[in-house]
């Protein structure tokens, strides 16, 4: 109520700048991301930094959530605001590149102690754009196929087996196309990796060549046929919803979302995950700090804390069962074996190393999506 | 439906006829109740469901842990709710203050380009907002209105005006012109005739538009994010992040919270309307 | 002061508000729709039609169908509230019909997704009542789901407006017709509906506009392709950051709505003359 009256008093006046020690974190992602920052990271940070106060705004799940953060930055840049109203943002990998290219971000990774604990390539390159220094991964997410062992005892272990099984069991496989969220997109990318005639490595690492985009026609034709035998689901959450109702036996999901749904009692506990050959994409969520953050030092401190081995262990792995953002060995050292092994209940570290792929670089990514729009859904 | 129980006892001769009529009536009302309350029951169940998945037709476990999450001391659900109601009330006042004169002019006075003006008021709803909000946010940052209550109210007013202006125009058009002219002929000023004759007769329509403007403001997300947050937090932000992510429990609880001011507002409006219209009758 | 001038002065504040706060920012988007790689042209519209002509057609059909059903439901509800003879049934209906009005679209999407699914609550209830067998159940999560969601949410909106207008009608003609032995259905169609036609159509135009701009319902309920224009706009922005085609689609959506509103307004002007 107090802010209400303050704001009412400011009627007609310019926006009151946030108090010096108020740290604003804007996060894309589901409500559990918002709660993670406000209920876990917030109190922890406030205890370590007396006088600071963390407040958090959620912008919604999926690319749409990150897009809104990008647009917010763009609006402030174009309006020429000297100080922005965001200190730390959490965005999907895909949006880190455009933010760096537009010059919205501050390079802070080398300034914080945990910066050295990240060696994985996706902290340096984001879909083909160099983002080294500008981002710290909050966690790594992976798409995989979730299945219901009661309906499907021996799940297909590769895309090739899946194509056969889905044909023999019509409507038992469900995915959300490409317009309803990234789990469907990821399934499509995996399909191109598996059946495209080009080089999957080139799609993931570049360089972009126009000729490469001509090599997917066959794969897309077979995907169109496959989709006819599949159930289309309404969105990432829709796939999980239909899995939980037993209407489909298998479908692509984000591993982090899968565990959250299970923890919140919306998915039967006996559902399982499998990461099929030759692999499906995953992506990190990144912490970024706008160059015009009003509390830059505090923002850096916040990310440093959030990416420290202890917080990654307690917050990301133990609390959510998500894959950590910084290198695994630093996090594993903080945890007992049972907690650590829970991460790999269905998907082993070896599977993950072999079949956990990045998304194609941005130009291929767009070209595949557009080809899908023209050839599969049209 | 407990239809039979609620019929008043009638004379023996008429009773069978009434019973027969309650059959189709009860059937239709029952069907309607299922259509309306089926999905709503679903919503209410999700607010207290701790675990619920197939093949269980009802939740496996009930509890209030999600209510605790929504109302956690660090979350700002109550503050957001209060902000939302405050903003929605201001939006209704501002939208009606703008729409009543505009609607009257569009209904009664000869205006050039009347059709174009009416279409202009549709634009904020008719052009899908997503690609426009960058420009709107930029404008509001430029004006220093970001993060202020007036800023959020202005954004909501632009969307509410669609309903307010169109409905006000229809309401004033429906008032018989002769009544107003009769008042003028016995010496009432134009303003007086408007206040005492036209406005009360158009009041039901105007009040209906007030309800829609209130609801539109209460449920609006995109503008609330771009112009309000992080300084002015509104409840739809929570609703949207939870709803779009499939967090059924939290989205349902938030929707239930938003139901309270909506219904309260409608009841207040209806009561006010009845008293108001009645008081005018004896004028 | 001339009536024209007075009229303009009365409209100006409201018009200025939406012009400054929406139409001016929109201008940049509209220009963007005609811009392809720095040059002006119709490339974005070509692409929009090449990729999404089916979706545009689908949107028009779905929204028109929903509008028609909403109109019928609203007339039925308003008509019964006005002409119904049993006060208990009228009271029950009055209490019943308004609830969906208060549920935001995103929640409508959520509750209907879990309600209309193949193993959703509706089919579960019907099966447990013995009306259906599990083998007969089907999912409504396609175009039918969108129509159901739109009608569910918007019919009370129009019904509220229409029943308000019906309530303020002169009862004299209705009673007279009743005394002459006219059936209630005939009175509704021949006497009541023509008198509230303006309100009804305004309500339907507003519903049409609202449904054209709703994103959450097609995203959360319709899994199939084709889908609605708003979902394509969101996809163009979020997947490609392609404001050009998104704005072209926005403009197409605006033109569809404006032409509907225009038809109504032309008709309205003629009937007022």
Same-domain check for residues A248 and A235: yes
Higher confidence at residue A294 or residue B189? A294
> What mean pLDDT, rounded, does chain B reach?
84
CB-closest option in A178, A232, A247 to C224 = A232
- Alpha-carbon gap: A132 to the closest alpha carbon of chain C (Å): 22
Same-domain check for residues A234 and A373: yes
Query: Count of CB atoms within 10 A of residue A115's CB?
Result: 18
Average pLDDT over residues C5-20: 91
Residues of chain C with pLDDT > 90, as a percent, come to 44
CB-closest option in A238, A246, A373 to C51 = A373
Cβ pair A7:B232 closer than 8 A: yes
**Gap between the Cα atoms of A44 and A30, Å rounded:** 21
Pair of tokens at residue C208: 């049409």
Higher confidence at residue C137 or residue A254? A254
- Residue carrying structure tokens 């909501």: B156
Average pLDDT over residues A109-128: 93
Interface of C with A (CB under 8 A): 51, 54, 113-114, 117-120, 139, 141, 219-225, 227, 231-232, 234-235, 237-241
Element (H, E) at C182: none
- The number of folded domains in chain A is 2
Cβ pair C18:B120 closer than 8 A: yes
Distance from chain centroid for Cα C268: 20
Let me know if C241 is exposed, middle or buried by CB neighbors in 10 A (0-12, 13-18, 19+): middle
Same-domain check for residues A64 and A99: yes
Average pLDDT over residues A105-132: 93
Q: Convert the pLDDT of each residue in C141-195 to its tens digit.
A: 889 999 999 999 999 999 999 988 888 787 888 889 888 988 889 999 998 999 8
pLDDT at residue A149, as a whole number: 94
| Length of chain B measured in residues | 283
Instruction: Please report how many Cα atoms fall inside a 13 Å half-sphere around the Cα of residue C229, on the Cβ side.
Output: 35
Contact call for residues B180 and B198 (beta carbons, < 8 A): yes
CATH architecture of C53-272: Orthogonal Bundle (1.10)
Place A184 in a pLDDT band, splitting at 50, 70 and 90: very high
Q: Convert the pLDDT of each residue in A28-50 to its tens digit.
A: 988 888 999 999 999 999 999 99
Same-domain check for residues A237 and A221: yes
Q: Which domain holds residue A190?
A: 141-282+356-377
Selected residue of B39, B122, B137, B205 to mutate for chain C interface (largest C Cβ count, 10 A): B39
CATH of residue A189's domain is 3.40.190.10
CB-closest option in B55, B151, B225 to A68 = B225
pLDDT at residue A118, as a whole number: 93
Place B19 in a pLDDT band, splitting at 50, 70 and 90: low
**Gap between the Cα atoms of C198 and C211, Å rounded:** 20
- Alpha-carbon gap: A238 to the closest alpha carbon of chain C (Å): 7
Same-domain check for residues A148 and A276: yes
Same-domain check for residues A41 and A98: yes
Residue B238: list chain A partners with CB under 8 A.
31, 58
User: Which of C237, C263, C264, C262 minimizes the C-alpha distance to C249?
Assistant: C237
SS3 B211: helix
Same-domain check for residues A273 and A207: yes
Same-domain check for residues A196 and A307: no
* ipTM associated with this complex: 0.88
Selected residue of A60, A177, A179 to mutate for chain C interface (largest C Cβ count, 10 A): A179
Give me the DSSP letters along A280-308: EEEEEEEEE-BTT-TTHHHHHHHHHHHTS
This model's pTM is above 0.80: yes
List all chains that touch chain C, counting a touch as 3 or more CB pairs closer than 8 Å: A, B
Cβ pair A71:B53 closer than 8 A: no
Cβ pair B126:C257 closer than 8 A: yes
Same-domain check for residues A231 and A364: yes
Cβ pair A43:B74 closer than 8 A: yes
E strands present in chain B: 49-51, 61-62
pLDDT at residue A3, as a whole number: 52
Interface of A with C (CB under 8 A): 62-64, 67, 70, 98, 176-180, 185, 231-235, 237-238, 241-242, 245-247, 366, 369-370, 373-374, 377-378
Place B3 in a pLDDT band, splitting at 50, 70 and 90: very low
Cβ pair C239:A177 closer than 8 A: no
Spell out the domain ranges in chain C.
53-272
Average pLDDT over residues B7-28: 63
Cβ pair C241:A67 closer than 8 A: yes
Residue A369: list chain C partners with CB under 8 A.
239-240
Q: CA geometry: angle at A126 spanning C39 and A182, to 5°?
A: 85
Same-domain check for residues A261 and A296: no
Average pLDDT over residues B119-140: 89
Same-domain check for residues A203 and A291: no
- Residue carrying structure tokens 């009175």: C187
Q: State yes or no: pLDDT of C272 exceeds 60.
A: no
Average pLDDT over residues A194-198: 92
SS3 A105: strand
pLDDT at residue C130, as a whole number: 84
Q: State yes or no: pLDDT of B186 exceeds 50.
A: yes
Residue A266: list chain B partners with CB under 8 A.
51-53, 246, 248
Q: State yes or no: pLDDT of A96 exceeds 70.
A: yes
List all chains that touch chain A, counting a touch as 3 or more CB pairs closer than 8 Å: B, C
- A271-298: string of b/e by CB count within 10 Å (b at 16+)? bbbbbbbebbbbbbbbbbbbbbbbbbeb
Same-domain check for residues A310 and A367: no
Query: In Å, what is the CA distance from A212 to each residue of A113, A195, A199?
Result: 41, 14, 8
């Amino acid at each position: 109520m107090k802010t209400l009256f303050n704001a009412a008093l400011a009627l007609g006046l310019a926006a009151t700048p946030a108090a010096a020690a108020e740290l604003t974190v804007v996060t894309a992602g589901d409500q559990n991301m918002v709660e993670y920052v406000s209920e876990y990271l917030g109190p922890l940070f406030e205890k370590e930094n007396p006088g600071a106060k963390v407040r958090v705004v959620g912008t919604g799940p999926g690319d749409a959530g990150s897009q809104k953060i990008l647009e917010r930055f763009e609006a402030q840049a174009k309006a020429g605001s000297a100080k922005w109203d965001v200190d730390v943002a959490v965005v999907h990998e895909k949006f880190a590149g455009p933010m760096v290219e537009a010059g919205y971000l501050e390079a802070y990774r080398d300034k914080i102690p945990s910066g050295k604990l990240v060696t994985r390539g996706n902290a340096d390159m984001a879909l083909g754009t160099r983002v080294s220094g500008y981002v710290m991964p909050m966690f790594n997410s992976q798409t995989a196929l979730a299945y219901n062992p009661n309906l499907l005892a021996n799940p297909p272990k590769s895309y090739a087996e899946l194509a056969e099984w889905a044909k023999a069991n019509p409507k038992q496989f469900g995915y959300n196309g490409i317009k309803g969220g990234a789990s469907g997109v990821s399934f499509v990318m995996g399909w191109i990796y598996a059946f495209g005639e080009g080089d999957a490595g080139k799609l993931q690492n570049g360089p972009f060549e126009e000729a490469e985009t001509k090599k997917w026609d066959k794969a897309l034709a077979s995907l169109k046929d496959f989709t006819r035998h599949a159930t289309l689901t309404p969105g990432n959450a829709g796939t999980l919803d239909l899995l939980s109702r037993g209407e489909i036996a298998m479908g692509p999901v984000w591993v982090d979302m899968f565990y959250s749904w299970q923890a919140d009692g919306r998915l039967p506990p006996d559902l399982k995950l499998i990461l099929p050959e030759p692999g499906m994409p995953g992506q990190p969520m990144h912490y970024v700090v706008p160059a015009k953050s009003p509390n830059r030092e505090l923002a850096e401190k916040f990310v440093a804390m959030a990416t420290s081995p202890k917080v990654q262990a307690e917050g990301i792995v133990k609390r959510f069962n998500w894959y950590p953002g910084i290198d695994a060995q630093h996090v594993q050292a903080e945890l007992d074996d049972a907690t650590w092994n829970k991460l790999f209940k269905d998907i082993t570290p070896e599977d993950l190393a072999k079949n956990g792929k990045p998304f194609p670089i941005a130009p291929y990514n767009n070209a595949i999506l557009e080809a899908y729009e023209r050839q599969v859904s049209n | 439906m407990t239809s039979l129980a609620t019929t008043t006892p009638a004379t023996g001769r008429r009773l069978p006829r009434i019973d027969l009529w309650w059959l189709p009536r009860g059937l239709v009302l029952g069907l309607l109740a299922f259509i309306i309350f089926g999905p709503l029951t679903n919503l209410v169940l999700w607010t207290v469901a701790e675990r619920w998945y197939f093949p269980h037709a009802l939740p496996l476990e009930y509890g209030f842990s999600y209510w605790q999450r929504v109302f956690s001391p660090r979350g700002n659900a109550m503050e957001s709710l209060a902000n939302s109601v405050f903003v929605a009330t201001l939006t209704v006042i501002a939208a009606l203050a703008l729409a009543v004169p505009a609607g009257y002019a569009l209904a009664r006075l000869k205006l050039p380009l009347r059709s174009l003006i009416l279409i202009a008021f549709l634009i904020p709803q008719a052009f899908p907002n997503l690609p426009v909000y960058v420009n709107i946010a930029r404008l509001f940052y430029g004006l220093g209105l970001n993060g202020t209550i007036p800023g959020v109210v202005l954004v909501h007013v632009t969307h509410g005006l669609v309903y307010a202006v169109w409905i006000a125009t229809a309401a004033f058009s429906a008032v018989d012109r002769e009544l107003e002219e009769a008042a003028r002929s016995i010496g009432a000023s134009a303003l007086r005739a408007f206040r005492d004759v036209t406005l009360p007769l158009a009041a039901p329509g105007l009040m209906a538009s007030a309800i829609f403007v209130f609801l539109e403001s209460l449920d609006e997300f995109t503008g609330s994010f771009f112009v309000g947050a992080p300084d002015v937090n509104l409840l739809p932000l929570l609703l949207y992040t939870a709803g779009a992510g499939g967090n059924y429990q939290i989205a349902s609880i938030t929707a239930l919270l938003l139901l309270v001011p909506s219904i309260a507002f409608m009841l207040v409006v209806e009561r006010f309307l009845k008293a108001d219209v009645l008081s005018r009758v004896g004028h | 002061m001339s009536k024209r001038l007075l009229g303009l002065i009365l409209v100006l504040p409201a018009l200025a508000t939406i012009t400054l706060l929406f139409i001016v920012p929109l201008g940049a988007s509209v220009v963007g729709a005609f811009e392809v790689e720095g040059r002006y042209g119709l490339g974005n519209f070509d692409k929009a039609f090449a990729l999404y002509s089916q979706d545009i057609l689908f949107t028009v059909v779905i929204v028109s169908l929903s509008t028609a059903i909403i109109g019928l439901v609203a007339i039925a509800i308003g008509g019964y509230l006005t002409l119904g003879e049993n006060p208990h049934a009228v009271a029950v209906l009055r209490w019943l019909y308004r609830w969906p009005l208060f549920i935001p679209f995103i929640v409508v999407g959520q509750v209907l997704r879990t309600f209309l699914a193949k193993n959703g609550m509706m089919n579960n209830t019907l099966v447990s009542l013995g009306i259906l067998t599990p083998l007969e159940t089907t999912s409504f999560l396609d175009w039918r789901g969108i129509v159901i969601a739109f009608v569910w949410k918007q019919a009370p909106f129009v019904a509220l407006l229409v029943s308000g207008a019906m309530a303020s009608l002169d009862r004299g003609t209705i009673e007279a017709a009743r005394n002459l032995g006219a059936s209630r259905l005939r009175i509704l169609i021949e006497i009541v509906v023509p008198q509230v036609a303006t309100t009804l159509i305004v309500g339907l135009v507003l519903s049409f506009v609202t449904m054209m701009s709703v994103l959450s319902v097609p995203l959360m309920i319709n899994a199939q392709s084709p889908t609605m224009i708003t979902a394509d706009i969101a996809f163009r922005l979020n997947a490609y950051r392609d404001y050009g085609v998104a704005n072209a689609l926005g403009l197409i959506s605006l033109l569809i709505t404006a032409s509907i509103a225009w038809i109504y307004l032309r008709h309205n002007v003629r009937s007022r003359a």
